[in-house]
Structure 1
Amino acid sequence: MSRLKIDVDYLLGQLKALLSIDSPTGYTDTIVRHVTEELESLGLEPELTRRGAIRAVVRGGRREGARAIITHLDTLGAQVKMVKDNGRLELVAIGHWSARFAEGARATIYTEKGSYRGTVLPLKASGHTYNDEVDTAPVGWQHVELRIDAMCWTRADTLSLGIDVGDFVAIDPQPEFLDNGFIVSRHLDDKAGVAIALASLKSIMDSDVTLPVDTHWLFTIAEEVGVGAASIITPEIASMVTIDNGTTAPGQNSSEFGATIGMADMAGPFDYHLTKKLVEICREEDIRYQKDIFRYYRSDSASAIEAGHDVRTALIAFGIDASHGYERIHTHALRSVAELTTAYVVSPLEIERDVSEVSDLEGFTEQPTDPAEQPKKRRKLPEPLSALKD
């Protein structure tokens, strides 16, 4: 096995392009078109589900026992919950994120008649009016509203613009790409993962390598609301690796550098053997890595398992600070995850029985059960009772 060279400029260029396209869950048609056209430019023949999830297959030595690399195109956002009497909009979140990160955000409202710009504000937004109440106001979606940049000061004014309940609200990402490699933006979850997948694909398509099995590159459109990979997995796929974010908050072992291997999330442990293989690749290919467990996190892998798909799952994460807020990542992690992805897809298939959906015990995997060998140390004799202090 061998990691392939990653075109980092291409990766970052794709990330910038993806961040420029609004794609809250439920409003993903434009980004689906962009990624589909990019896959075609790489020489692939992508196919779309009815709602727009994308599958592109790189053919390998055989079809059965195929691998999948999966990311998601959708992001957090909001919808119009109510048009208020003052002409402003009450919002409901798309996905799980705190309204404290929505306060002050610039946004676009997408209606049947066109789009409008606006700002998400707390109900008490002016210190000159409310004094200290601005600082003591509670946090929550019922405590913010969207001010529309248009002539609308009453409910009737706003409705006359064509704005109504259910319209989608996309939050501006406000990205910054710094010279030191840091990238700060909203929606890096999971547009950075999509950029990693595209860069990995480009590396494979540009290289003279033959994959041991088919590799399905999957892009889902509803991961942020828990649907994810529920309906895009085909029977020949035996293992699936998700590329998503890993949180670098206190109490976590993730890092903004290197690749983070997820050992478990709130849906349970990832597959023992697939995860072990990814760790071994990192060691053999000298890819910086760390392991982590996420207690309040789930990914496309969880939705696939919960939908009843019998696939091995694993998670490769790029460390992200302040996930689902103003997120920050580093280019080092993006490159590391891409290198690990390429090394994995070119690596040999080790569990031969995975080519069949059902088989007997022959060739079934084994997990270690013997006690681990401990380093031999000179045994320290216990202190005599007379030496112990009260």
Structure 2
Amino acid sequence: MARLKIDVDYLTEQLRALLAIDSPTGYTDTIVRHVTEELERLGLEPELTRRGAIRAIWRGESRRGARAIITHVDTLGAQVKRIKETGRLELVPIGHWSARFAEGARATIYTEKGSFRGSILPLRASGHTFNDGVDQQPVGWEHVELRIDALAWSREDTLALGIDVGDYVAIDPQPEFLDNGFIVSRHLDDKAGVAIALASLEAMGRNKARTPVDTHWLFTISEEVGVGAAAIVTPEIASMVTIDNGTTAPGQNSSEFGVTIAMADQSGPFDYHLTKKLVDLCREEDIRFQKDIFRYYRSDSASALEAGHDVRTALIAFGVDASHGYERIHVHALRSVAELTTAYVVSPLEIERDVEDVSDIEGFTEQPTEAAKQPTRPRKLPQPR
């Protein structure tokens, strides 16, 4: 078998550590430092872009035609939009998520002078005061506010604390790791993906894995706002596999177990040949999988293509229930995605012309066009009346 044995304890330990670090898009320096230090401990030599996206290269037999595994360290969050006369804060979201999931959340406000704790509450938060009005108010960011746990009963009080418009608000993840393998937390998108990438690298190091081409392990810092991999993909990379969440919701085919292989998202289909290779690896390596299509979803793959990078893209996902809310995953999916990741990076290079940026038609890929073979067993026809 090409897949490597994953140290699940290491994977979950890394996930715990990642969840403990606040990292809303735009406030990711601390988690970048953490991931960089762990990559160095695993024996790699990571390099950072100006703003902090990380690249660590596992050297293979060839630099050209390189592969990339990409995840993102940033999460959803909020910013201070306005300081109200009551001293409370109006918020705008970072990333796309509903205020329905913000109600009741504990949070940290990061300012130039230090951090403060608080709670995000609906404008009508007291049943003893508003009675049925608590249940009748609309859902939306204009209908919630952040109550600061400090002496802040007026706009002047809040400003005196050093809190100002634009300050970052990080939402507590509140993780639970259950004995039955379920993990419940905010921000599993995509800290679980980062933990999967690190666990894959740990397995490769432990097994002294050899790869046919370089593998670029990429960690972006602004996926939740659509930027993602726009500036970190280099010309050597021919194919890129994104690790992110798959939505286990009504109408979807994703699962909290095994690997979910995305066939398309709102930006269009993923690369036919790369996706088929991943499906074939699942079959060959006996990794449970299912396919899905996401209509309201985009990932680092989309941002790379939109930036003009000519790379094959694919998305492998761990199933998440209540994505962008209070999310739930299962360790089985995390392990399965890591197994597929290791099987992919050590697998042979099949499209040899991918080592060149541009080449002639020789060796160009082919997609099946012939009619499918029908079952040979004769079907019993209905008898005439």
TM range (shorter): over 0.9
AA aligned opposite 2:200: S
- Counterpart residue number, 1:168: 168
AA aligned opposite 2:305: I
Which whole-Å CA distance do the structure 1 matches of 2:155 and 2:184 have between them? 36
User: Relative to 1, partners in 2 of residues 1:47 and 1:129: Cα closer, same or farther, differing over 3 Å?
Assistant: same
- Counterpart residue number, 2:351: 351
- Counterpart residue number, 2:12: 12
- Counterpart residue number, 1:360: 360
The Cα of 1:380 is off from its aligned counterpart by 5.4
Which whole-Å CA distance do the structure 1 matches of 2:381 and 2:174 have between them? 63
- Counterpart residue number, 1:141: 141
Which whole-Å CA distance do the structure 2 matches of 1:168 and 1:258 have between them? 35
- Counterpart residue number, 2:178: 178
- Paired residue total: 385
- Counterpart residue number, 2:333: 333
- Counterpart residue number, 2:276: 276
- Counterpart residue number, 1:69: 69
Which whole-Å CA distance do the structure 1 matches of 2:303 and 2:259 have between them? 23
For residues 1-150 of structure 1, what are the structure 2 equivalents within 5 Å?
2-150=2-150
Which whole-Å CA distance do the structure 2 matches of 1:335 and 1:285 have between them? 13
AA aligned opposite 1:112: E
User: Relative to 1, partners in 2 of residues 1:6 and 1:381: Cα closer, same or farther, differing over 3 Å?
Assistant: closer
Corresponding residue SS for 2:314: strand
The Cα of 1:36 is off from its aligned counterpart by 0.3
Query: What's the CA shift string for 1:173-227, capped at 9, x where partnerless?
Result: 0000000000000000000000000000111111122110000000000000000
The Cα of 1:382 is off from its aligned counterpart by 6.7
Query: What's the CA shift string for 1:73-95, capped at 9, x where partnerless?
Result: 00000000000010000000000
- Counterpart residue number, 1:154: 154
- Counterpart residue number, 2:236: 236
The Cα of 1:289 is off from its aligned counterpart by 0.5
Corresponding residue SS for 1:229: helix
The Cα of 1:378 is off from its aligned counterpart by 3.0
Structure 1 gap segments, 5+ residues each: none
Which whole-Å CA distance do the structure 2 matches of 1:381 and 1:202 have between them? 58
AA aligned opposite 2:80: V
Q: Does 1:190 align with 2:190?
A: yes
Corresponding residue SS for 2:230: coil
AA aligned opposite 1:152: A
Which whole-Å CA distance do the structure 2 matches of 1:139 and 1:43 have between them? 48
The Cα of 1:383 is off from its aligned counterpart by 7.0
User: Relative to 1, partners in 2 of residues 1:8 and 1:381: Cα closer, same or farther, differing over 3 Å?
Assistant: closer
AA aligned opposite 1:241: V
Query: What's the CA shift string for 1:135-182, capped at 9, x where partnerless?
Result: 111000000000000001000100010000000000000000000000
Which whole-Å CA distance do the structure 2 matches of 1:46 and 1:354 have between them? 25
Name which of structure 1's ranges 375-384 and 104-113 shifts more when overlaid on structure 2.
375-384
AA aligned opposite 2:39: L
For residues 195-206 of structure 1, what are the structure 2 equivalents within 5 Å?
195-206=195-206
Which whole-Å CA distance do the structure 1 matches of 2:80 and 2:148 have between them? 12
Which whole-Å CA distance do the structure 2 matches of 1:236 and 1:205 have between them? 23
Corresponding residue SS for 1:230: helix
Corresponding residue SS for 2:249: coil
Which whole-Å CA distance do the structure 2 matches of 1:128 and 1:164 have between them? 31
Which whole-Å CA distance do the structure 1 matches of 2:189 and 2:261 have between them? 16
- Counterpart residue number, 2:258: 258
Which whole-Å CA distance do the structure 2 matches of 1:62 and 1:377 have between them? 48
Runs of 4+ with deviation above 2 angstroms: 376-384
- Counterpart residue number, 2:219: 219
Task: State the TM-score, normalizing by the size of structure 2.
Answer: 0.99
Which whole-Å CA distance do the structure 1 matches of 2:341 and 2:364 have between them? 25
AA aligned opposite 2:83: V
